[in-house]
Amino acid sequence: AKNGIIVLKRPLGTSSDSNSDSDEEEDSMSEGEMARLMEEVEEKKKLIATIRNKPWRMKRRLVLLREAQQFVDKFEGALGKGKGRKWYAYKVMMTKKWIKFQRDFENFRTACIPWERKIKEVESHFGSSVASYFIFLRWMYGMNLVLFGLTFGLVVMPEVLMGLPYGSIPRKTVPRAEQDTAQDYSVLMDFNGYCKYSVLFYGYYNNQRTIGLLKFRLPLAYLMVGLGTFGYSLMLVIRTMAKNADVGGGDGDEGEFTFAWKMFTSWDYLIGNAETADNKYASITTSFKESIVDEQENQKDENIHLRRFLRVLANFLITCSLGGSGYLIYFVVKRSQEFANRDDLSWYEKNELELIMSLLGLVCPPLFETIAELEDYHPRIALKWQLGRIFALFLGNLYTFLFALFDEVNTKLEEEGSIKNASIWAMKEYYANFSLPVNDSDATPPPMDPGDVILGPCWETAVGIEFVKLTVSDIQVTYLTILIGDFARAVIVRFLNYCWCWDLEAGFPSYGEFDISGNVLGLVFNQGMIWMGAFYAPGLVGINVLRLLSSMYYQCWAVMATNVPHERVFKASKSNNFYMGLLLLVLFLSLLPVVYTIMSLPPSFDCGPFSGKEKMFDVIMETIDLDLPAFMGTLFSYAANPGLIIPAVLLMVLAIYYLNSTSEAYQNANMELKKKMQMVSKRICGVPSDEDFNQEEPKKQHRQHQPGDEGPGGPAAQSLPGPARPAGAWLVSSRASCRCGTPETGTDQPPALSLWSEQRNPRSLKENRPRPEAEPPGRVLTCRKT
């Protein structure tokens, strides 16, 4: 629609450039006229800016727009005074050109958004909740693309282009012992062999301070990109959350308008498919019937003790299973460590860890759901519990995995010490053996063949390998589940239906529905793993980008071909921020291990860009010392002083506290205003108590002010006084269009005294009141004494 409006403006609008030939006229204008003119121009400009928001007919809008534009053009150039005039006109023209450029750029940007058609198709078939998953996927894809660009451009490319090639130094070469098997498919699938010694992993990168002609500081870039990944993701997530919170609107009481909302907002205008429309009708009908039944029946807890006992039992069972899964993972990781020492492993044993983790992720959620049936909660609450439990499951799994991994890292570190000695020893031996046959002691022996040098166990690469394997197996399991769970099921149901006893399509198993929450959580946790592993395996982000891309097409196809729309109305509108919040939490949790390793674990001595240093962030220290001017070094050393940092932290804590308390105060003020509005609108125009009287007055004028008061203000202004009701004097004295009274009623009527408290249930209030019919206009209302 925006395109349409813009296009129309161009042929029909007359936006000529400011004419400077009206110079002669301005000289005669006085100051006052100038000021007035400026005001008018400003007003017209504002009109042009807001014209889209007014609910007028298109024609009227266009006519007004044209008028306003002509007016602005004619007089704007005239407003510049004297010598400044030409400059002013020039400025105005540049502003206009800038605005036009911005508009064009916006158009271009909207046209560039990928997959718009696809998502629209899914939306029209399945409604907006399923489509929200795909929109989320698209957003993730965008974020990963940027991260990939960063990593690729700043870390991988320089190393490939300007660093030393494969085979030149020990860390980049496959050790001689492994060289025979390095190209085997099975070894490659494990990410050993050639994969291990490639750009994909941490161990490949050289620790030279600067490489190539441009003196590109690779180690510094590596660290910065790693931290920048987190920073960028954090910024993006928070920005999206803020945007979502804005759109979400205020949170009214949930039960306040159930029926009204059901009636007016349940139809999804996006639906463009007959089958979905049928489903939607059915679900709307069902939902109405449910709410009616809810209303009519008086829910009384028959047996509150039984219910409590069942809930406790369910929670206990679930905690047990969570603990069980955590222990299982720990056990499997330990086993995989033992396996690492053996050589003859079956495929299952090699990939056991990843398989178990993915299977747990598959099996446990339905298990939780079945156990949750015991609890008998309201569906929305049950969903929240379910999501919380799945979250706990994934979290527990991930962290157990991490702890086990850390155990491994520590053992590797110990091993390193001994290997360091061994390799130095081997080097010395090699030189000693070499110089024997040569009598010329001046000749320098050639360096040892890189394949022979004993390499330390590069723990970072090992960690990177683990993460990559985990991600890959996660991808495989997801795709397989879709293939089997949805596609095969659909095929079976479709074709076996002809020769089966009961109706497969209507009863069990029927077609699958699209599991939104499961998929979103899977996506969120996948992203968490990427964040954790990206520091140790720069290639991981690239793998993820490919995965998201293929996932988009694959899942779109799967959804259209094998799933049916949900039977129940899925009200997922508030969950947008919920998933973002989850993402934020996962981001923080995945930040922790990486930061911990950067700060405290020593890097491997012979692989990766930080080899040889005490701690990884020593690179920053080095850069500050050597590259930046001297005073910056002293500046940083002052800034790092604890005496400065602690007050800064205190200041931030105080700021957070202050902002928190002001926001609470605003919320309270909001609640007060809301309550007042409700009180005013639901109360019969009768007698308030004294304090209500004092409070009502300022609010009355406030209440009737509605947006869009120019055009549709019409109906409101002509609104007629409604039913016969006692008119309070104070109510009459305020705005004439108040429905409760007419201006004729004098102020001399003594109000009847019936005091109502604020907390009175509005429903019972209405029941007591007789239901009035619409009165003809102009009737004088009398005050009734109750």
Site string for other proteins, 118-137 (x = CB under 8 A): --x--xx---x---------
Cβ distance to other proteins smaller for residue 523 or 740: 740
Q: Which of the ranges 183-191, 466-474, 717-725, 778-786 carries the binding residues for other proteins, by CB under 8 A? A: 717-725
- Give the one residue of 87, 105, 261, 557 binding other proteins; rule: CB under 8 A: 261
Cβ distance to other proteins smaller for residue 4 or 165: 4
Cβ distance to other proteins smaller for residue 39 or 767: 767
Residues 154-213 touching other proteins, rule: CB under 8 A, are none
Residues 265-324 touching other proteins, rule: CB under 8 A, are 265-274, 276-277, 281, 284-285, 288-289, 292, 295
Shortest distance, CB of residue 144 to other proteins, whole angstroms? 25
Shortest distance, CB of residue 748 to other proteins, whole angstroms? 25
Shortest distance, CB of residue 94 to other proteins, whole angstroms? 27
Return d(Cα 336, Cα 404) in angstroms, integer.
10
Q: Which residues contact 400 (CB under 8 A, 6 or more apart)?
A: 326, 329, 330, 333
- Give the one residue of 58, 235, 312, 669 binding other proteins; rule: CB under 8 A: 58
Shortest distance, CB of residue 265 to other proteins, whole angstroms? 5
- Give the one residue of 49, 260, 501, 626 binding other proteins; rule: CB under 8 A: 260
User: Does residue 247 belong to the site contacting other proteins (CB under 8 A)?
Assistant: yes
DSSP annotation of 563 reads: E
Shortest distance, CB of residue 716 to other proteins, whole angstroms? 6
Cβ distance to other proteins smaller for residue 283 or 471: 283
Residues 343-372 touching other proteins, rule: CB under 8 A, are none
Shortest distance, CB of residue 236 to other proteins, whole angstroms? 21
CA distances from 705 to 460, 499, 697 (A): 64, 67, 14
Residues 655-714 touching other proteins, rule: CB under 8 A, are 681-682, 684, 704, 706-708, 712
Return d(Cα 242, Cα 260) in angstroms, integer.
28
Q: Which of the ranges 8-16, 430-438, 455-463, 515-523 carries the binding residues for other proteins, by CB under 8 A? A: 8-16
Return d(Cα 533, Cα 464) in angstroms, integer.
6
Q: Which residues contact 395 (CB under 8 A, 6 or more apart)?
A: 589
Instruction: Tell me the one-letter amino acid at 712.
Output: P
Shortest distance, CB of residue 735 to other proteins, whole angstroms? 12
Cβ distance to other proteins smaller for residue 83 or 763: 763
Go through the chain and tell me how many residues it has: 786
Q: Which of the ranges 2-10, 546-554, 592-600, 647-655 carries the binding residues for other proteins, by CB under 8 A? A: 2-10
Cβ distance to other proteins smaller for residue 215 or 766: 766
Cβ distance to other proteins smaller for residue 420 or 739: 739
CB 448 within 8 A of CB 427: yes
- Give the one residue of 379, 446, 698, 715 binding other proteins; rule: CB under 8 A: 715
Cβ distance to other proteins smaller for residue 55 or 447: 55
- Give the one residue of 185, 264, 498, 631 binding other proteins; rule: CB under 8 A: 264
Shortest distance, CB of residue 219 to other proteins, whole angstroms? 46
Shortest distance, CB of residue 295 to other proteins, whole angstroms? 7
Cβ distance to other proteins smaller for residue 4 or 32: 4
Q: Are strands 512-513 and 563-564 parallel, antiparallel or unpaired?
A: parallel
Token readout for 449 is 């063949």
Shortest distance, CB of residue 246 to other proteins, whole angstroms? 11
Q: How many residues bind other proteins (CB under 8 A)?
A: 80
User: Any idea which residue has 């609010």 for tokens?
Assistant: 699
Q: Which of the ranges 50-58, 77-85, 155-163, 307-315 carries the binding residues for other proteins, by CB under 8 A? A: 50-58
Cβ distance to other proteins smaller for residue 4 or 446: 4
User: Does residue 244 belong to the site contacting other proteins (CB under 8 A)?
Assistant: no
Nearest CA to 96 out of 40, 7, 17, 12 is that of 17
Shortest distance, CB of residue 63 to other proteins, whole angstroms? 11
Cβ distance to other proteins smaller for residue 113 or 635: 113
* Concatenated DSSP letters of 242-255: HHHHHHH-----TT
Residues 718-777 touching other proteins, rule: CB under 8 A, are 719, 722-723, 725, 739-740, 763, 766, 769, 771-774
CB 361 within 8 A of CB 397: yes
- Give the one residue of 246, 256, 297, 302 binding other proteins; rule: CB under 8 A: 256
* Burial of 642 (C-beta count, 10 Å sphere; 0-12/13-18/19+): exposed
Shortest distance, CB of residue 3 to other proteins, whole angstroms? 5
CB 412 within 8 A of CB 340: no
Shortest distance, CB of residue 664 to other proteins, whole angstroms? 22
CB 477 within 8 A of CB 470: no
Shortest distance, CB of residue 575 to other proteins, whole angstroms? 10
Nearest CA to 526 out of 357, 684, 768, 382 is that of 357
**Bridge partner list, 512:** 563
Shortest distance, CB of residue 103 to other proteins, whole angstroms? 13
* Burial of 47 (C-beta count, 10 Å sphere; 0-12/13-18/19+): middle
Cβ distance to other proteins smaller for residue 633 or 722: 722
Cβ distance to other proteins smaller for residue 494 or 674: 674
Return d(Cα 64, Cα 418) in angstroms, integer.
84
CB 414 within 8 A of CB 134: no
Cβ distance to other proteins smaller for residue 518 or 712: 712
Handedness of CA 285, 288, 294, 295 (dihedral sign): negative
* Concatenated DSSP letters of 389-456: HHHHHHHHHHHHHHHHHHHHHHHHHHHHHHHHHHHHHHHHHHHHHHHTT---TTSPPPPPPTTTSPPP
Q: What distance, in Å, lies between the first and last C-alpha atoms of the chain?
A: 56
Cβ distance to other proteins smaller for residue 239 or 766: 766
Cβ distance to other proteins smaller for residue 283 or 562: 283
Shortest distance, CB of residue 247 to other proteins, whole angstroms? 7
CA distances from 39 to 17, 70, 79, 234, 244 (A): 20, 16, 11, 44, 36
CB 199 within 8 A of CB 121: no
Shortest distance, CB of residue 512 to other proteins, whole angstroms? 24
Say whether 513 sits in a helix, a strand or coil: strand
Q: Which of the ranges 116-124, 335-343, 536-544, 642-650 carries the binding residues for other proteins, by CB under 8 A? A: 116-124
CA distances from 117 to 113, 127, 134 (A): 10, 15, 12
Shortest distance, CB of residue 108 to other proteins, whole angstroms? 13
User: Does residue 7 belong to the site contacting other proteins (CB under 8 A)?
Assistant: yes
Residues 553-592 touching other proteins, rule: CB under 8 A, are 571, 573-574
Cβ distance to other proteins smaller for residue 570 or 610: 570
Cβ distance to other proteins smaller for residue 212 or 248: 248
Return d(Cα 194, Cα 177) in angstroms, integer.
13
The angle formed by the CA atoms of residues 287, 292 and 296, to the nearest 5 degrees, is 150
Residues 70-99 touching other proteins, rule: CB under 8 A, are none
Say whether 650 sits in a helix, a strand or coil: helix
Q: Which residues contact 739 (CB under 8 A, 6 or more apart)?
A: 719, 720, 721, 722
